[in-house]
Amino acid sequence: MALIKLPGLIDIHVHLRDPGQTYKEDFYTGTSSAIAGGFITVLDMPNNKSPITTLERLRIKIEEAKKRIVCDVGFYAGSLGDNFLELKKMEPFVFGLKLYLNKTTGNYLIDKEILTKIFDTWESKKPILVHAESDIIDEVINNVKRTGQKAHVCHVSTKYELAAVIQAKENKLPVTCGVTPHHLFLSKKEAVKLGSFALMKPKIEEGFKTYLWNKLKYVDVIESDHAPHIVKEKKSVNPPFGVPGLETTLPLLLTAVSEKKISIKRLIEMCFANPKKIFNIETDKNSFIEVDLNEEYIIDNKKLITKSGWSPFADWKVKGKVKKTIIRGVTVFENDKILVNKSFGKFIKPILN
């Protein structure tokens, strides 16, 4: 045993599917999956079945969340370019605004003109998060340059995107970026083998994984992009994009620590300190996790808590296990069991800076 204590981790990019698609995941199963994976705070994306583009929908989501979350949960607003008044109303209750510049799950795509308009109207210290792949990343950076608005580039997935982000950082623009565990750990070859179970947006490009590990010092955040879909959907003729990740992200990273590919210090930076700083997330000194750096186990679909019930990393051997998760002094997860009732978690808003 090599037990160590780490801060309770923060995942700034999850899709808990609640309300609207609770057959894939719900607030209880999604947040249970989070605490089993060492995360005590998650920020949930707005691409629900009915996208979170109005205060009314956000209110309903918050009220539903309060009934069945076991860790702390915050939200983002969404926009299709037709809700400027609503964006102003939602702003106090969210950690940022998420925009989709490329096609993915749901139908929330916006174009360049709308992107520009939204950058002009958001007027908030909170970041605009973008799903922006190589074809559109420059447009985002130009808008940051023009307006000074903070932007977070989600799940960087190509050399071109990462180079654009690095350049923006060198130009002192307020741009941060995140990468997913699947882009860090899955090769193109492995993704092809997994078929639709590795179908996600952005997709895995040949050679990117190696490039990313070499440039990891430029990455601010690791975000799971936990995007649960059930097995039946993934096996269908039109499989949806996305893979679950909350329970596998930390074990994979701890395995990388054991292989000396990354230090514990950097892990804490990317999964706790930077998310906290970028999104102004309140944390509690009595919230932490205990992990056994030496424990090895095989990722087993049958043991996962996520309602989706599978992982692209199934059958992988990992080294590093979450033994205990403590939130505000209360043990919420231990011995592979969830120990608190629904509604233990808190709906959170950013702390004012």
Please identify which residue in 96, 178, 242, 350 interacts with ligand DOR, judged by CB under 6 A.
242
Q: From the list ligand DOR, Zn ion, none, which binds 178 (C-beta under 5 to 8 Å, kind-based)? A: none
Nearest by Cα to 321 from 258, 262, 266: 258
In the complex, minimum distance from the CB of residue 210 to ligand DOR, in angstroms, rounded to a whole number: 22
CA angle at 314 for the pair 313 and 318, rounded to the nearest 5°: 70
Counting contacts by CB under 6 A, is residue 196 touching ligand DOR? Answer: no
Q: Minimum Å distance from CB 200 to ligand DOR?
A: 3
Cβ proximity to Zn ion, 100 vs 313, nearer residue? 100
What residues between 57 and 116 interact with ligand DOR by CB under 6 A? 104-105
Shorter beta-carbon distance to Zn ion: residue 127 or 320: 127
Contacts with Zn ion, 146-165, as mask; x by CB under 5 A = --------------------
| Strands 9-14, 39-44: pairing kind | parallel
Cβ of residue 199: shortest distance to ligand DOR, in angstroms? 8
- In what order do the strands lie in the sheet containing 9-14? 9-14, 39-44, 72-75
Minimal distance in Å, beta carbon 238 to ligand DOR?
A: 13
Write down how long the chain is: 353
The beta strand positions in the chain, using DSSP E, are: 3-7, 9-14, 39-44, 72-75, 77-78, 97-100, 128-131, 151-153, 175-179, 221-222, 288-298, 317-327, 330-334, 337-338
H helices present in 131-175, as ranges:
137-147, 159-170
Residues 129-168 that bind ligand DOR (CB under 6 A): 131
Shortest gap between Cβ of 285 and Zn ion (angstroms)?
30
Tokens of 284: 């509690």
Q: Closest CB to ligand DOR among 174 and 239?
A: 239
47 binds ligand DOR (CB under 6 A): yes
What residues from 207 to 246 belong to the interface with Zn ion (CB under 5 A)? Answer: 225
Q: Considering the rule CB under 6 A, would residue 227 count as an interface residue with ligand DOR? A: yes
Partner from ligand DOR, Zn ion, none binding residue 71, C-beta < 5-8 Å depending on class: none
Q: Which residues on neighbouring strands pair with residue 275, listed in sequence order?
A: none
341: helix, coil or strand?
coil
Q: How many CB atoms lie within 10 A of CB 175?
A: 24
Between residues 83 and 104, which has the closer beta carbon with respect to ligand DOR?
104
Residue 206 structure tokens = 């040949």
Which residues would be at the binding site for Zn ion (CB under 5 A)? 225
**Interface contacts to ligand DOR, rule CB under 6 A:** 15, 47, 104-105, 131, 200-201, 227, 240-242
